[in-house]
Structure formats: structure tokens, C-alpha cells
Amino acid sequence: MQKFNPAFSGSDIKKYFLKKNLKKDLPSSIVVFLVALPLCLGIALASGAPLFAGLITGIIGGIVVASCSGSQLSVSGPAAGLTVIVLGAITSLGAYPTFLLAVVLAGVFQLILGLVKAGTIGNYFPSSVIEGMLAAIGLILILKQLPHALGVDTDFSGDEGFFQQDHENTFSAITAAIGHFSLAAVVISLLSIAILIIWPKFPKLTVVPAPLLVVALGILGTFLFSGTDHPLRADQMVKIPVISGFSGFLGLFTLPDFSQLANKNVYIVALTIAVVASLETLLSIEAVDKIDPIKRVSPTNRELIAQGIGNITSGMVGGLPMTSVIVRSSANVNAGGRTKMSAIFHGIWLLLSLLFIPQVINMIPLSCLAAILLVTGYKLTRIALFKHMYHKGWDQFVPFVVTVLAVLFTDLLKGVAVGMMVSIFYLLRTNMRNPFFYRITNDGDRKNIRIKLAEEVSFLNKAAIQVVLTNIPRETNVIIDGSNARYIDPDVLETIFNYKHNAYTKGIIVTLEHIQKHYTVPKLTNKFVEDFNK
């Protein structure tokens, strides 16, 4: 069983409040807050849940999950990849409180997955696939946010699927937006992009974060255009619930219906949410570690435990299921976040904005927030990344490009699955081509062939070895050397021993060196831990 360490141990807590870290984390938290706000609302709307549910999920993802997580830059909240599942679950279960019970149980399942160390699955995602996922997310951000930057907000903020709920797709939505753009939104988004690009080039000015300036510009633009022929409409603005006092805030919470514990459909929904949310989290964690400037490695099992705690908490108070979300996390990295305090502060800002300044938040145009995501998307899918992957060779570049296209034209999980299959194909092809090394020498009229087996010889290598042995000419001395091999599959061993037994019919003399009759798979990780602890 995995030992769960507290998020803030006495020796570690000081680093989170160091001035050098807070100087990075506080401005970054504002950027993440501004990015997360419309996404929380949009995903709640698309899921058929109350808007408050999206916000409370973002708050819990920021404060609770980040506090428990071992990742320093990951940001959790409601995920676009779960909208279809959530929408269908709320409908099929018949009542929102029943669905909340499924969310709580999904969290319990995630706790179990973390404790049995299922998070190690994340270590098997190939680098080319993760890089492809990041580039695809960047392209999706650019393509999906263009309509919002043009003032056309028919699709919900945070949608990542190619086919949209408004019966458009990614490309047709852009075409439609170009024909129905809003002048005010276009002006605000263009000025916002200009500020986001130019402002960081003046270090003395960066005391004020560029995204905060963009939001101020957006609010000012809303007032300036309100007296013209091209004002911004209500649907082009952020819209969070306006709460009348603390009692009104408490009235927004919904408790799960525990009387449905015997309902088997609740468990089916819970298991589905747990599996999908866990996979998305592991993918996001791997991706965030890739773009972390300090290259820290996040403990994946602990992350599943943190997500489980977050989903239990969210379900208990009326929220949606959550995952670690790459869009918010990448915005955190690009804004200069240093520690988990950035994610925690972003959750606090969400809570305070909901309680105290909803009217101010509702004056922010979606077009200026779209500009922030457009710049984030560009940084994720820069041309230099494609050049870098190309120079790494076809076995890296092809899975990378396939992952980009598959994620772009389907969704995150399907796209990554396609990329994984292509990556596995290249892995198998390389593995089949390199099961051994050989050297040919002459000894009078006879040839000597020394075949030295690789460290790992699997059943996938059987065909290649069999072809080579079959084509060895008559009257040859063959030495099969297994001194390097830590493991040889039983099927390959059978092929070698059968060849030795029958080779005399061709006048071939076979000598086996350092080849055992049976091999077991070495448990290197456990052995290393045992040796280290001696």
C-alpha cells in the first residue's frame, strides 16, 4: 500500500511562502483564475449542470486538490472531456443529487487506484505522444477560441471536441464566426493579443501582469463601445451567478442522495467517471512535467489520491467531477508559476470573486479572455516543436503528427489512443529488427557465425531469429551467445533448442553459450529498493 505524505510537511512549507516563489505564483494565479473562470462556467453549461457547480469544482480543484497533490504546476477543475459523460449521466440517473452520489463514489474509486499504485500507467505514455497531445491542445485552443475572439460565443468555452454541441465542427464554426463577427470583440481581442505579446518585453512593467491589464482593457472597452452602434451583447460577457448574501451562497450547495446507494447504475457511472478522469489526469500530469522549466517529476499515485479527495469533496457539495486540466496547467506554466501556491491562490480568487465581486466579473468580455488562451495555444504549438520532433527521426515524428491530427479531429482520449497505437507499431518494428548482433569470420573452408542476443528477447523477436537461422548456409559453425541476455522468451528458447537439435542434417555445428533453459522476468524495481534499504 502506498504511504500518503501530507501536502505541506514542516520542512517544505517554507518554500511555498518564499518571496522569490510568491513573486511568480501570485501573478500566475491571476492568469489561471482568468482562464479558468469561463471554462468552469462553459463546461457546467455544456454538462447540463448549474453554473455554480462549475465554479465550486474549480474552487475545490484549486484549494483542495492542489493542497494534496505532489505536482507543483498542475491545475485541476471541471474537464471538457467529461461533459458528454456528465450530461448523459444526469439524464440517465434522473436527478442531480443521484449524480452527485456517483461523483463521490468515483472519488472513492480514484483513492483505491492511487493506493494500489495504478498511477504508474502514466509512465508508459511515449514522449512523442505527449508532445503531440500538447501541440494538439495548442491548435485546439487557437481554433476554438477564434470564434470567441470574434465575438461569436455559440459554442461553450472549454469545448475540445471536433464536433460541437451546436451542430458545428471546429472549422465550420470559424467560417460562421467570420461572417458574424462583432467589431467591439475584434478590437478588444486584437488589442489584448498585442498587450500580451509586447508587455512582457518590458521587465519593469511586468509588476502588473499582462493578463490583468488585458482584463482592465476589456472592461474599459465594454464601456466605450456601449455608447456606439456596436456594443457588446450580454452573451459576449462572462456571466457568473450573483449571490445575495452568505445565506444565498449556502443555498447554492446540493447534497448527494445517499438513498441511491443500492442503485447499480450509480456505480456504473461512478466507475466510468473514475477511469476517464484518471486517464485524463495522468495524461495532463505527464504533459505538465514535459513543459515544467525545472523538469520536476510529479508522483502519479499521489495525484490519483488527490483527485479522489477532490471528487469526493466536489460531489458532497454539489460540484462536477474534475481532472488535472492541461489548458489551465499550461497557462500556469506559461505565466511563470513556480509552486502549487499558484493553483491554490487561483481557487481562492474564484471563491472571492463569486462572493464579493460578481458584478465586476460580469463586465469582462469573453473576447479578451479568448486572447489569453490564443497566446497560450500558440506557445504550445510553436513551429520549433514540429522541427524538433522531425529531427528526432520518423519513429518519433510520425506518432507525434498522428497524435496531433487524431486529437484535433476527435477528442483527447481517442486521439492519444490512436497515437499510442502508432507509437507501439514503431516500437514493435524496432524491437523485431534488433533482437541480436552477428559477426561472420572464416575458418578455412567453413564460415563461423557468432550470434549475440540482445538484453531482452521477446516472443516478438521469434520470427526474425527464425528467418536468420533458417537461412544460414550448410557446413557452417554457429555460436549463439546469450551472455548479454537478461531474459529470453520461452518461444525463442524453443526455436533455438530445436535448431540446435536439427542443424546437423545440414552439416551445421551449433554451440550455445550462456543460454539457460528457463528465464524469469527480473523485478528490478523491487530489487533496487531492497538493495538500497540494506
- Claim to verify: residue 46 and residue 95 sit in the same structural domain: yes
Residue 159 has pLDDT above 90, yes or no: no
pLDDT digits (tens, 9 = 90+) for 34-64: 999 999 999 999 999 999 999 999 999 999 9
pLDDT digits (tens, 9 = 90+) for 97-136: 999 999 999 999 999 999 999 998 888 899 999 999 999 9
- Claim to verify: residue 198 and residue 313 sit in the same structural domain: yes
Q: Are 21 and 336 in contact (CB under 8 A)?
A: no
Query: Structurally, how many domains does the chain consist of?
Result: 2
Q: Are 102 and 266 in contact (CB under 8 A)?
A: yes
Residue in the block written with cell 451546436 = 166
- Claim to verify: residue 358 and residue 473 sit in the same structural domain: no
pLDDT digits (tens, 9 = 90+) for 372-425: 999 999 999 989 999 999 999 999 999 999 999 999 999 899 999 999 999 988
- Claim to verify: residue 440 and residue 320 sit in the same structural domain: no
87 closest CA partner among 44, 33, 42: 44
- Claim to verify: residue 337 and residue 470 sit in the same structural domain: no
Residue 162 domain-assigned?
A: no
- Claim to verify: residue 366 and residue 504 sit in the same structural domain: no
Residue 73 pairs in a beta bridge with: none
Residue 94 domain-assigned?
A: yes
Q: State how far the Cα of 95 lies from the Cα of 92, in Å rounded to an integer.
A: 8
Count the residues in the chain. Answer: 534
195 closest CA partner among 432, 408, 371, 15: 371
Confidence label for 320 from pLDDT (cuts 50, 70 and 90): very high
Residue 177 domain-assigned?
A: no
Q: State how far the Cα of 322 lies from the Cα of 82, in Å rounded to an integer.
A: 8
Tell me whether residue 26 is exposed, middle or buried, using C-beta atoms within 10 angstroms of its C-beta: 0 to 12, 13 to 18, 19 or more. Answer: middle
Residue 470 is placed in which grid cell? 533458417
Predicted confidence at residue 481, as pLDDT, reads 93
435 closest CA partner among 414, 419, 456: 456
Residue 436 has pLDDT above 80, yes or no: no
Q: Domain range for residue 317?
A: 25-154+183-397
- Claim to verify: residue 88 and residue 224 sit in the same structural domain: yes
Residue 3 domain-assigned?
A: no
372 closest CA partner among 200, 172, 241, 223: 200
64 closest CA partner among 484, 363, 347: 347
Q: State how far the Cα of 381 lies from the Cα of 386, in Å rounded to an integer.
A: 8
- Claim to verify: residue 378 and residue 443 sit in the same structural domain: no
Helix H, strand E, coil C: the string for 36-84 is HHHHHHHHHHHCCCCHHHHHHHHHHHHHHHHHHCCCCCCCEEECHHHHH
Residue 1 has pLDDT above 50, yes or no: no
Q: Name 57's Cβ contacts closer than 8 Å, sequence gap at least 6.
A: 40, 44, 77, 78, 314, 319, 320, 321, 322
Residue 19 has pLDDT above 80, yes or no: yes
Residue 135 is placed in which grid cell? 501541440
Q: 476: which DSSP letter?
A: E
- Claim to verify: residue 85 and residue 211 sit in the same structural domain: yes
Residue in the block written with cell 505541506 = 8
Percentage of the chain beyond pLDDT 70 is: 95
Output the CA torsion 274→278→280→283 (10° steps): -170
- Claim to verify: residue 352 and residue 476 sit in the same structural domain: no
Q: What is the pTM of this model?
A: 0.84
Residue 518 domain-assigned?
A: no
Residue 385 domain-assigned?
A: yes
Q: State how far the Cα of 241 lies from the Cα of 343, in Å rounded to an integer.
A: 22
Print burial letters for 65-89: b (CB count within 10 Å at least 16), e (below 16).
bbbbbbbbbbbbbbbbbbbebbeeb
Residue 257 is placed in which grid cell? 442522495
- Claim to verify: residue 87 and residue 210 sit in the same structural domain: yes
Residue 217 is placed in which grid cell? 482593457
Residue in the block written with cell 512593467 = 205
- Claim to verify: residue 65 and residue 139 sit in the same structural domain: yes
Residue 481 pairs in a beta bridge with: 452, 513
Q: State how far the Cα of 492 lies from the Cα of 44, in Å rounded to an integer.
A: 55
pLDDT digits (tens, 9 = 90+) for 238-283: 998 888 777 788 888 999 999 999 999 999 999 999 999 999 999 9
Residue in the block written with cell 549475440 = 452
Residue 169 domain-assigned?
A: no
Q: 486: which DSSP letter?
A: S
Domain of 501, CATH number, reads 3.30.750.24
Would you report the helix, strand and coil content of the chain in percent, each value rounded to 5?
A: 65, 10, 25
Predicted confidence at residue 149, as pLDDT, reads 95
Residue 358 domain-assigned?
A: yes
Angle 136-273-249 from CA coordinates, rounded to 5°: 95
